[in-house]
Chain A
Amino acid sequence: MKRFRIAGDVSALPTYAFGNRNIHWWGTLMFMTIEGMTIAVCAAAYLYVRKNFEAWPPPPTPLPDLVIPTIAAVLMVLSIAMMTRVHVATRKMDLRGVQRWLVIMVIVGIVLVALRWFEFKALNTRWDSNAYGSTAWATVAFHSTLLLFEVVETAVFAALMLFGPREKKHFTDVEDDAVYWYFMAAIWVPLYVLVYVSPHFA
């Protein structure tokens, strides 16, 4: 009969790890890939129906407004820089820093959600007007679900880091939340250009 031979002991290994050593980082990466594909499909649909129109946007639809969407897009890009503060704090296990910056990010997130409401209005069309309206709304609406999800998740992590039963592992979870924020905010830039800016040059 065979026997076990124990060739090594893993009991001294740590119980958490940052970055791509952590399985949740990979889970987040897969999630971002799925969402990224979905966004690509929305953008592809927007570009695909364009060939069916002689003018873009189709008259009498006015061009989308640029003011609020541009402000929101700039804030979106700035939010990435702000989120790196959370990220750096997690790596240092700086609890105060993580708490402070998570709360700030929740506020930034709420502002972004509020601006999103006006961004829908800035489309100057409705989802049921024509295929231009449908695809533009779909693109913005789908990204809005990511935005909303991310803001809620950040709020939950803020609550956990402020009041919850914390452990060190949670710093790595907050890091993944930051990584997802980068994705959510960065992917908005091409969508903003596509939906709000490009019709001005059509």
Chain B
Amino acid sequence: MTVARGVAPLLPLEVETVRPDPVAPQVWEEVELTDADQELRKELLDTWGDNPGLWGWLRSTSHLSIAKRYIITAFLFFGLGGLEAGLIRLQLSQPENSFIGPDRYNQIFTMHGTTMMFLFAVPVMVALALYLVPMMVGARDVAFPRLNAYGYWVYLIGGLFVYVQFLLNTAPDAGWFSYVPLAGPEFSPGKRVDTWAQLITFTEIAALVAATEIIVTVFKHRAPGMSLNRIPLYVWAMVVTSFMIIFAMPSVATGSQFLAADRLIDTHFFNHAEGGDSLLWQHLFWFFGHPEVYIIFVPGLGIISAIVPAFTRRPVFGYPVMVLALVTTGFMSFGLWVHHMFTTPIPQLGQSFFTAASTMIAIPTGVQIFCWIATIWAGRTRFATPMLFVIGFFVVFIIGGVTGVMVASVAFDQQAHDTYFVVAHLHYVLLGGAVFPLLAGVYYWFPKFTGRMLSERLGKWNFWLLIIGVNVAFFPMHILGLEGMTRRIYTYLPETGWGPLNAVSSAGAVIIVVGMVVFAINFFWSLRRGKTAGENPWGGETLEWATSSPPESYVFMYLPVVKSRAPLWSEGSERVVVGGLRSDVRDTLTTTLMDAEPDHRQSSPAPSIWPLMAAVATGVMFISAVFTPWGLVVGSVLLFFALFFWGWPDKADQAKRLAGESEATA
């Protein structure tokens, strides 16, 4: 490793590269702290810890605290979305059921889709990454801690807003993709669709913020020695996801502003009478909406790649191929959106292109699945709960993937479009591709978050109930769809003969609920009574396991130095680190993009109330805009003040930071 540009001779670090990739050691040993280390620890805790009390809680910018709040909030919305799913299944369990009326039903299925996509799936995936990615790349903090806090608060305000509207009978009711003209001013008067449009804006801002955090943290805050070809696969997956968010989300955010404008200030983006176009909405929505599927699913792939090595005791087979497959998936996901529109008048050439692209995207995913199989084949596999969920992912996701290849064909799609076949397909893909890996991740990383293990016994119950429930609930929907049952109907006649299969499907939903209740019991029981975990209970190879469980606020006392793709498996009897970061301010190390050579030190900002205030101003801006366009003006002025105080340097902080840094004073 060479000396960073024009810098004093603190380097080179004496670090050799380890080749070939190491395999897992037999026994895991933790690092013993000396007295000097203990002293440093106290100072770091003072510097990095959250301030006490509610005021401290509101001002916190610690990525650990923010990510935990984010994950808990996302799981609460998951519960609400699940409750809505339960109500839907209850209503459909028998023909001509009068449990829920059509108007309420429209709101419930719209809220189910909207909650699961916008308030659960994307947020929980980025939130997990906001906790783990900095740790996995050996950083103390995310790149922009205040922005990170802002993103969470915006998300929370958006979610609360839409649920308050639900309680006021003003929940969106035009489906999770709010197609015009149904969602336009003519057919959806009132404020329901406006609520949806603004919720989209809130959640997209939050996702874009998180994506920026992840990319810049990975690019500039990696531990010394973690060159691009040593980045853990989970981190690669999150980088690809973040780029997809950055290119996809502006499309729907702008589209939803067009929709809101059509409804509020009489623009004509989607109004055919004045030259607008309803298909424009479909393009704008699906240009986001299809990558969205991969935004949810690629993190799942990353989680699988993080878990498989720990339970097979060897690194994932074919690292370069795995990375290329992720990047390819990211690119290709932008070339498929029109396959959601095969029943609209699009040119035949377009149909052929998008069929070919939709079929082709199975290739990179297939490559990854074969690499995992090779890893499992070559390793000594241990079927603990996280690994069971990985196997569950294979089974459920592959079924969903195969039906995906089926609906990629125009001829078949025109039959299956808007039927329960598609509902079955998308639930197999999303439950298999996202929820199974996510739960695998929860079982795997729970000890890192809490210091305790989840119960293996309950975990196995959880797994078997879920995989049986998912198949019982969703497999019959394939058949119902082929028999012609369409989506979004609140009831059906007995003569259709759909009753028995719907009853089976609803029974499956009950099994899923029981499985998730077992999960909740396991969670709360283990939080108090679970077996204590050390810093690396599974013998994992990536850097998040090189710190205590749960991590202290500063995460790493000294920044680790990375000499292989499996840093913890190659460290032997000593952990190589760099020293020299300050302990009296939140000092972080910035490294170079390609080779992660130390470049400069940079101090993370102190806690601040202004990110929360900026989020509140954003809330005022978008929520009041539902009622009057002047809301935008008032909100922007408030936002200006919040951002001003957020960014303007605090003199006391500055003096502390500049003490001893004479060359930095202007």
Is A5 touching B31 in the complex (CB atoms < 8 A)?
A: no
B246–A30 touching, CB < 8 Å: yes
Q: Is the C-beta of B602 less than 8 angstroms from some C-beta in chain A?
A: yes
B483 to chain A, nearest CB (A): 37
Residues of B within 8 A of A160 (CB): 648-649
Taking CB atoms, residues of chain B closer than 8 Å to A168 are 663-666
Scoring B144, B250, B283 by chain A CB atoms within 10 A of each residue's CB, the highest score goes to B250
Q: Tell me if B561 is interfacial: C-beta within 8 Å of chain A.
A: yes
A37 touches B251 (CB 8 A): yes
Q: How far is the CA of A127 from the CA of B269 in the complex (A)?
A: 10
CB of B649 within 8 A of CB of A1, answer: no
Choose the segment among B9-17, B352-360, B388-396 that binds chain A (4+ C-beta atoms closer than 8 Å): B9-17
* CB closest chain-B residue, reference A24: B144
- Check B561 against A134 for contact (C-beta < 8 Å): no
Is B579 touching A6 in the complex (CB atoms < 8 A)?
A: yes
Instruction: Choose one: A6, A12, A27, A34; the contact of B7 (CB below 8 Å).
Output: A12
Interface residues on A, range: 35 or more
A8 in complex: contacting residue of B11, B37, B574, B575, CB < 8 Å: B11
**Interface 0/1 of A128-166, CB less than 8 Å to B:** 111111110110001000000000100010001000111
Among A40-48, A113-121, A192-200, the stretch that binds chain B is A40-48
Q: Cβ of B274 and Cβ of A131 under 8 Å apart? A: yes
In the complex, are the beta carbons of A45 and B269 less than 8 A apart? yes
- Cα distance A10–B12 in the bound complex, in angstroms: 11
> Which residues of A (97-133) have their CB < 8 Å from a CB of B?
127-133
Q: Once the chains are docked, how many angstroms separate the CA of A92 from the CA of B573?
A: 48
Rounded to whole angstroms, the CA-CA distance of A1 and B27 in the bound complex is 11
User: Cβ of B663: which chain A residues have Cβ within 8 Å of it?
Assistant: 14-15, 168
Q: Is B120 an interface residue (CB 8 A)?
A: no
Q: Are B247 and A17 in contact (CB under 8 A)?
A: no
- The reply to whether B15 and A134 contact each other, CB–CB distance below 8 Å, is no
Bound CA span A191–B112, Å: 39
Q: Number of contacting residues on B, CB 8 A? A: 89
Q: Pick from B246, B275, B599: contact of A21, CB below 8 A.
A: B599
Whether A6 lies near B578 (C-beta < 8 A) is yes
A142 and B261 CA atoms in complex are apart in Å by: 13
Closest to A5 in B: B574
Determine which of B283, B640, B661, B665 lies in contact with A152 in the assembled complex, contact meaning CB atoms within 8 Å.
B640
Shortest Cβ distance from residue A26 to the other chain B in the assembled complex, whole angstroms:
5
CA distance A37 to B288 in the complex (A): 11
Flag whether A23 is at the interface (Cβ < 8 A): yes
Q: Which of B261, B280, B574 contacts A48 (CB 8 A)?
A: B280
Question: Given B4, B216, B271, B582, which contacts A23 in the complex, CB threshold below 8 Å?
Answer: B216
In the complex formed, the residue of A with least CB distance to B274 is: A130
CB distance from B288 to the nearest CB of A (A): 10
Instruction: Check if A95 sits within 8 Å of B666, measured CB to CB.
Output: yes
Q: Is A13 an interface residue (CB 8 A)?
A: yes
Q: Which residues of B contact A26 (CB under 8 A)?
A: 143, 215-216, 219-220
Q: If A6-B577, A156-B647 touch, does A134 touch B247 (CB 8 Å cutoff)?
A: no
Is there an interface contact between B598 and A13, defined as CB atoms closer than 8 Å? yes
Contact of B284 with A41 in the complex, beta carbons under 8 Å? yes
Contacting residues, chain A, for B658 (C-beta < 8 A): 167
Please state if B224 and A13 are interface contacts (CB–CB under 8 Å). no
Q: A52 and B276: CB pair below 8 A?
A: yes
Q: Does B104 contact A (CB under 8 A)?
A: no
A170 and B269 alpha carbons, distance in the complex (Å): 43
In the complex, identify which listed stretch (B95-103, B127-135, B588-596, B612-620) lies at the interface while the others stay far away. Answer: B588-596
> In whole Å, how far is A166's beta carbon from the nearest beta carbon of chain B?
4
B580 touches A130 (CB 8 A): no
Q: Residue A189 at the B interface, CB < 8 A?
A: no
Measured CB to CB, the closest approach of chain A to B358, in angstroms, equals 22
B30 contacts the other chain (CB 8 A): yes
User: Within 8 Å CB of B224, what residues of A?
Assistant: 8
A3 to B32, CA, bound (A): 6
Interface assignment of B488: CB less than 8 Å from any CB of chain A: no
Which 5 pairs of residues, A with B, have the shortest CB-CB distance? A11-B580, A131-B275, A37-B250, A1-B32, A12-B8
Cβ contacts A to B, 13 pairs, < 8 Å = A1-B29, A9-B579, A10-B578, A10-B601, A11-B580, A14-B601, A15-B603, A26-B215, A30-B212, A38-B253, A41-B250, A58-B275, A167-B666
- Interface residue ranges, A against B (CB under 8 Å): 1-17, 20-23, 26-27, 30-31, 33-35, 37-38, 41-42, 45, 48-49, 52-53, 58, 93, 95, 127-135, 137-138, 142, 152, 156, 160, 164-171
Q: Measuring CB to CB, which residues of chain B are less than 8 angstroms from any residue of chain A?
A: 4, 7-8, 10-15, 29-32, 34, 37, 143-144, 147, 208, 211-212, 215-216, 219-221, 224, 246-247, 249-251, 253-255, 258, 261-262, 265-269, 271-272, 274-277, 280, 283-284, 557-558, 561, 571, 573-582, 589-590, 592-593, 598-603, 640, 644, 647-649, 651, 654, 658, 661, 663-666
